[in-house]
Amino acid sequence: MITIRPFADSDWSATWRVIEPVFRSGETYPFPPDITEAEARKVWIEIPSETFVAVDGTDDILGTYYIKPNQPGLGAHVCNCGYIVAEHARGRGIATGLCLHSQREALERGFRAMQYNLVVSTNEVAFRLWKKNGFDVIGALPEAFLHARLGYVDAFVMYKRLTAQKSPN
């Protein structure tokens, strides 16, 4: 059983263990691989409007996401989210759950759309997941991401207008 709940300060060390290897790999997020723990906390916890964690029955953190306005002021009706699932928890539908949860949260907060600004072209799992969840590619950014192993690779901007989601039952 997976529960998605708001991040609590006591979750930080476990959340850092989930996000640190992803940041260090330099393959999917634009943060420098040598980002400090304090800088990571700022970008994942302090700057966003809110951060959530996915936990199992023992309160082990399996994934996390943040939500924030994509732009200030007149562009603040479009939100942006970032998601990371713990390596040991991948392939269990957690990213899908986080994505669906974030869309419900976005609607509750009055956002009209969600935009991902930099979906790295080599991150095929995320790209397929976002497409499956209704996101469209609205732009390609040639060589916009400096991949740690592959050098300069393309990235996509993905977008979805948000509407109330129907219950699967």
**Degrees, nearest 5: CA angle 66-70-89:** 25
How far is the C-alpha of 163 from the C-alpha of 74, rounded, in Å?
Answer: 20
Q: What is the pLDDT along the chain (169 residues), one digit of tens a residue?
A: 899 999 999 999 999 999 999 999 999 999 999 999 999 999 999 999 999 999 999 999 999 999 999 999 999 999 999 999 999 999 999 999 999 999 999 999 999 999 999 999 999 999 999 999 999 999 999 999 999 999 999 999 999 999 875 544 4
How far is the C-alpha of 121 from the C-alpha of 28, rounded, in Å?
Answer: 9
Instruction: Please name which of 32, 101, 28 lies closest in space to residue 67, comparing C-alpha atoms.
Output: 101
Per-residue CA distances from 40 to 7, 37, 91, 97 (Å): 15, 5, 25, 23
The structural domains of the chain, ordered by start, are: 3-161 (3.40.630.30)
